[in-house]
Amino acid sequence: MVRQITQVGISVFILTMALYTNTVAAHGKVAMDDDSCMRRIGENMIHLSAYQPQVDEEGHYCTDIPRAGHAIFVIDLVDPSLRDMPIGMKVIKGSKADEGETVTHIRPTLYQDGVISTQSILDQGKYLIQITAEGVPPLHYEYHLRVEMINYAEVFRATIGPAVGLLLTAILGYKLIRSRRFRDWIASRGSKKN
């Protein structure tokens, strides 16, 4: 009986850890095509990294910026052909370009090294980053940012694994307590003590 309880406990633990670890994915360990900071139009790809050294010196972010304040944006022009096109960038407060206030504007220019870097001071709320490559046809990339906002989808994904594990443990515990074998085992333990 003790062996069965141990096996059930180990099974529940393994299931809980499997569900929990799948929900927490590090930004740096994903394939380029699965990276949420990567944008692709045809063969042309760019990558956004946002930094807030005052919050975390080594951390980099994409669409969820942890704190309002100073932010550094770095756009990597992954596709070499983009380095031969004038590229401009706007950081807009709000989620729509035509309704928001432009916070930062970089005029189109060539970036032979493939890196565009700028800084902005962001308040709490939503922002839109627009990157335009003046090619034929022009290429438009967008990133929607959330600054110092709770991402309820991520909170849900992070808590669902442990919640399912706890629920399974409760169900298995209830089934075990209600089982005849367990009651007989408890009764036999009680009669041995007397």
Hunting for tokens 């992070």 — which residue is that?
Answer: 158
Contact 86, 93 (CB under 8 A): no
31-149 CATH: 2.60.40.1930
User: Which of 33-42, 92-101, 116-125, 166-175 is least confident?
Assistant: 33-42
Length of the chain: 194
* Count of Cβ atoms closer than 10 Å to residue 146 Cβ: 17
Give the tens place of pLDDT for each residue, 133-159: 998 888 999 999 999 887 777 788 888
The answer, yes or no, to whether residue 15 has pLDDT greater than 60, is: no
Residue 98, pLDDT score: 84
Q: Within the chain, which residue ranges are assigned CATH 2.60.40.1930?
A: 31-149
Q: Evaluate if residue 105 carries a pLDDT over 70.
A: yes
Residues forming beta bridges with residue 69, ordered by sequence position? 122
> Which residues, listed in sequence order, are joined to residue 115 by a DSSP beta bridge?
76
